[in-house]
Amino acid sequence: MSDLKCRDSATHAESTERPSPGLLSIVIPCYNEEAVIEATHTRICSIAPRLGMQIEIIYIDDGSKDSTLKKLKHLAAGDSRIVVLELSRNFGQQAAMSAGLETAHGDAVVIIDADLQDPPEVILEMVAKWRTGIDVAYGRRKSRDGESVFKLVSASIFYRFFAAMMPYSVPVDTGDFKLCDRAVVDTVCALPEKRRYLRSLIPWAGFHHAPVDYDRDARTAGETKYSVFSLLSLAADALLLSSDKPVRIIWLLAILFACIGSSGLAVSLASSTQGQAGVSAIIAVIGLFSAAQTAGVAIIGEYVVRCYREAQGRPPFVIRRKIN
């Protein structure tokens, strides 16, 4: 079945013809977004007449603890275009987006956050790119309002470090806001990975990509759902699920510290008459080498943990209820 889906996707990708009017699926993961979800829906609906496509709006409630789900049910009761997926607990944003992709029926699928930092109006430009034959139109941030200097600098460094670690081309200054052609969605959903990091999987799939530049707005309501720990966990998944370069870096560090250790030992032996100075140098070298070993074991351990989780074969999400 997977082979068939991949062949169908390849055939679709070779053609630049886009169905008209076609169906656009808009996937919106939600977690504790009661303060903004109604405004988000209003903004999405306001652009619908200008899309030149029919739309389905897929909201994924990722185990919200506030009234987000209640508000989504109310919206769905009055709009047949809405599909609400209620996950059985909080599985995380990447899993919620995967649930939306697997549910979407559109000829093209847009992924956008519910917090309105990514303006829904940009979807119009993405659809225009898609109609020209582009398979993935991804949002590229020109500016990011309402964010601290630390977050701006750290995000910029991470995006570039992440891109450098990938064995294939990955765009920088982008998030999850993008439009994907049906062929891309089918290809990604057919992959056997349970833990998906879509920012690397979608570029891995290939196809024709093009940026859509925009200014990212500040939050109008609510607050970020990512703590420092969850951001670090996401960064670890981003690297370790997508690249083997961290392991290769360990080899380089091992060679580097072997050279440092040999040099330090040689200096210590040469200056053995100085007594305490030689002992201190040896202790410093051993400390550095031990730190490198510990870091290497930790990185390998993280890979092993992720392999174990994949081997368990558990689904990345569980849908408790589907509405509409």
The pLDDT tens digits for 126-136 are: 999 999 999 99
Determine the pLDDT at residue 191: 87
Tell which residue, 3, 12, 7, 6, has the closest CA to residue 182: 12
Taking a C-beta distance cutoff of 8 angstroms, is the pair 110, 126 a contact?
A: yes
Q: Please tell me the predicted confidence (pLDDT) of residue 282.
A: 65
Range 2-226 classified under CATH 3.90.550.10:
yes
Q: What is the maximum span of the chain, computed from C-alpha positions, in angstroms?
A: 87
Q: How many CB atoms lie within 10 A of CB 273?
A: 7
> Could you tell me the pTM of the whole model?
0.74
Edge-to-edge strand list for the sheet holding 319-323 = 209-216, 136-144, 174-181, 108-111, 23-30, 54-61, 82-87, 319-323
CA distance 290 to 296: 10
Peptide bond preceding 203: is omega within 30 degrees of 0, i.e. cis? no
- Reading phi first (left if > 0) and then psi (alpha if -120 to 50, else beta), residue 138 is in beta
Considering only residues 280 and 43, tell me which one the structure prediction assigns the higher pLDDT: 43
Q: Look at the block and give the residue holding tokens 């510290």.
A: 257
- Residues 295-315, mean pLDDT to the nearest whole number: 74
Measured distance CA(292)–CA(298) in Å, rounded = 10
Which is higher by pLDDT, 143 or 48?
48
pLDDT of residue 75: 94
Residue among 170, 297, 193, 285 nearest 246 (CA): 297
pLDDT bin (cut points 50, 70, 90) of residue 239 is: low
